[in-house]
Amino acid sequence: MEEFLKGKPEIVILRGKICQEVLDKHQITRAQIRTAVRKEGVRKLIDVKLGVLEPDGTVSVIKQ
């Protein structure tokens, strides 16, 4: 994902809901976001309070 994002962090998940507009902007799939969330130890999107796409392409997750 790193090649798609340059600059500032962007919110990709807010209160369990994926922000499709941000995914489209950076050409990232929902599957890629779900994989990144699972790598953070979260099984369900509903358990994510905030998901941030970082400038290096990683996703930071704050749990509910």
**pLDDT tens figures, 43-54:** 999 999 999 999
**Contact at 8 Å (CB) between 49 and 56?**
no
Structural domain boundaries in the chain: 2-63
Encode 19-41 in three state secondary structure. CHHHHHHHCCCHHHHHHHHHHCC
- The model's pTM: 0.84
Instruction: Tell me: pLDDT of 38 over 70.
Output: yes
Instruction: Select 2-63's CATH number: 1.20.120.790, 3.90.79.10, 3.30.420.10, 3.30.240.20.
Output: 3.30.240.20
**pLDDT tens figures, 6-28:** 689 999 999 999 999 999 999 99
Task: Give the pair of three-digit tokens for residue 35.
Answer: 């994989």
3-state secondary structure of 57: coil
Task: Give the pair of three-digit tokens for residue 37.
Answer: 């969330």
